[in-house]
Amino acid sequence: MSLILIVEDEKPLQDVYKLVLHTHGYEILTANNGLEALDHLKSFDPELILLDINMPKMNGIEFMREFIKLKSVSAVIVLSNMSYSEQVDEVMKLGAVDNITKAKTGPAELLALVERHAGT
- The bridge status of strand 75-80 relative to strand 3-7 is unpaired
> Could you give the CA distance from residue 67 to residue 82 in angstroms, rounded to a whole number?
22
- Which span (32-40, 55-63, 70-78, 97-105) binds other proteins, by CB under 8 A? 97-105
Determine, following the binding rule CB under 8 A, whether residue 108 of this chain makes contact with other proteins: yes
Minimum CB–partner distance for residue 7 and other proteins (Å) = 15
Determine, following the binding rule CB under 8 A, whether residue 93 of this chain makes contact with other proteins: no
Phi, psi of 64 (to 5 degrees): -60, -40
Applying CB under 8 A, which of residues 42, 69, 93, 104 lies at the interface with other proteins?
A: 104
Applying CB under 8 A, which of residues 17, 26, 63, 67 lies at the interface with other proteins?
A: 17
> Could you give the CA distance from residue 77 to residue 27 in angstroms, rounded to a whole number?
16
> Could you give the CA distance from residue 90 to residue 10 in angstroms, rounded to a whole number?
22
Applying CB under 8 A, which of residues 81, 95, 116, 119 lies at the interface with other proteins?
A: 81
